[in-house]
Amino acid sequence: MKSWLKRYLPGVALCALVAVGSSLIIHAIATPDPAKPATGIDASVYASDEKGPQAVAWSFAETLKKARRSVVNIQVEKVSKTPAGMRQIPFPFGPFGQPDPDDDGARRSRGAGSGVVVSAEGYILTNNHVVEDADEVSVTYFDGRSTKAKVVGTDPATDLAVLKVDVKDLHPIDFANSETVEVGDLAFAIGNPLGIGQTVTMGIVSATGRGSMGIIGVSNGNAGYEDFIQTDAAINRGNSGGALITADGRLMGINTAIVSSSGGNDGIGFSIPVNMARFVMDQLIANGKVQRAMIGALLQDVDDSMAKALGMDRPMGAMVNEVMPGKPAQKAGVQAGDVITKVEGREMRNQSQARNTISMMKPGSKINLTVNRDGKEISVPVTLAPLDDAAAEAPRVTEEAAGMNGVSVEELSTQLRRQLRIEDDVEGVLVGRVAPASKAASAGLRRGDVVVAIDRQPVRNTADFERLMKSSKGDATFMQVKRATQGRGWTNLFLGIER
């Protein structure tokens, strides 16, 4: 018997101990501690207001808090009147089918966008297309306050506008230097997409210096000024006029447009550089308008074959197509065929950058151009003149309403005729650019074509071109062009371009 106890007693004791322990555990689970929540969770564990060190290290919340207070939602109202002959049932009729004598054809429409507070005095930057033709503009701030805003001035050539509000306790944003922005920099877009309220998205700077996009249309006979920062931070309708922010919370650009196959965000958004925006803003506040400078020359990009022909190591700079009589370029000795490679020592990528750089300088100031002439670089001092709205310094670009978005045309100057060997009796306009994704490109229109007729009506200049494109009816435009064909000279070609 004793040997049996010695053999099995330790096992029996262990089983008894496990049974007692299990009952205590079950009792503890089944009987909640009155000092703790009924869920059994100790809330004190979650009571800390501090983030963990890893969450803080990977969060941009603190950086963006100040910038978010500077971005506002903009609401606009427009009143339009429909001519009596164009009013449709049931609008002009009362409840019994009779004409309503009180109906004057006025209809109110609403829109929304974004803006950025740029000074404690109440100035706000936004896009011209957000407030254009608005009868009433109101602003909603980050804290929920709303006030009316006054349009101080607009600049359609850059699609910028400045508003003014009479409000205290504003939070103006800090400015970055957009010249230092590089591809790969972090970027945050802040705005009011689709009217849902303030939203922050993150991406990177995808490209800089995007010009000649045809996004900003013609203003006073001149093509728009484009030098966009491209980003993949999500931008949608309603983001227009909002802020593109650096990783340290400063304003690098004003969000303006997207390229999209669906109408929504495809990861290709464009922002006006803050340096250009400040140039426009300062002049609108001080003078109510923007005064730009010019040299008086028509410019074009230099492609690879042109660079090789000129003995340049790569395509860059702005080719001078034509020097306008009596303007600064002619007085300084600039010649057609020169390539402007630098402005005040700063290298120029293309004609768009050269034009933008010169336009943002002070009229009357003397600058130094570096030009490539016959394979040699020479320095040419030029005294800038105020830009005359009637004198275009770049190919005129058709408006989107003309059905030719992405196409630029220019008039056939004597220099261009000589360069392209176009006979003097050929009238028309030269196609300078065709966007690859445009309907015109799909129809076969090419850079270098000469448009001589639209819907069988002759085209003599850019004004004819725009007028005829706007008046063209139907689903497609019938266009006659002349195209240089090797061995055959200039030959006729007919195109049907969908609208």
Name the residues annotated as catalytic.
129, 159, 240
What's the alpha-carbon Rg for the chain, to the nearest Å? 33
Residue partners of 19: CB distance under 8 A and separation at least 6: none
Q: How many whole angstroms separate alpha carbon 141 and alpha carbon 124?
A: 11
Q: What are phi and psi of 238, to 5 degrees?
A: 105, -20
Query: Of 422, 488, 477, nearest to 449 (Cα)?
Result: 422
Query: Of 167, 202, 159, 155, nearest to 72 (Cα)?
Result: 167
Q: How many whole angstroms separate alpha carbon 375 and alpha carbon 396?
A: 29
Q: How many whole angstroms separate alpha carbon 339 and alpha carbon 315?
A: 10
Q: How many whole angstroms separate alpha carbon 153 and alpha carbon 52?
A: 48
Q: In the block, which residue shows the tokens 């689709």?
A: 194
Q: Verify cis geometry, omega within 30 degrees of 0, for the bond prior to 90.
A: yes
Q: How many whole angstroms separate alpha carbon 318 and alpha carbon 228?
A: 18
Residue 307 to residues 310, 351, 382, Cα–Cα distance (Å): 5, 14, 24
The sign of the torsion formed by the CA atoms of 297, 303, 308, 311 equals: positive
Q: How many whole angstroms separate alpha carbon 185 and alpha carbon 98?
A: 64
**∠ CA 40-41-43, rounded to 5°:** 135
Q: What are phi and psi of 178, to 5 degrees?
A: -65, -15
- Residue 125: beta bridge partners? 116, 162
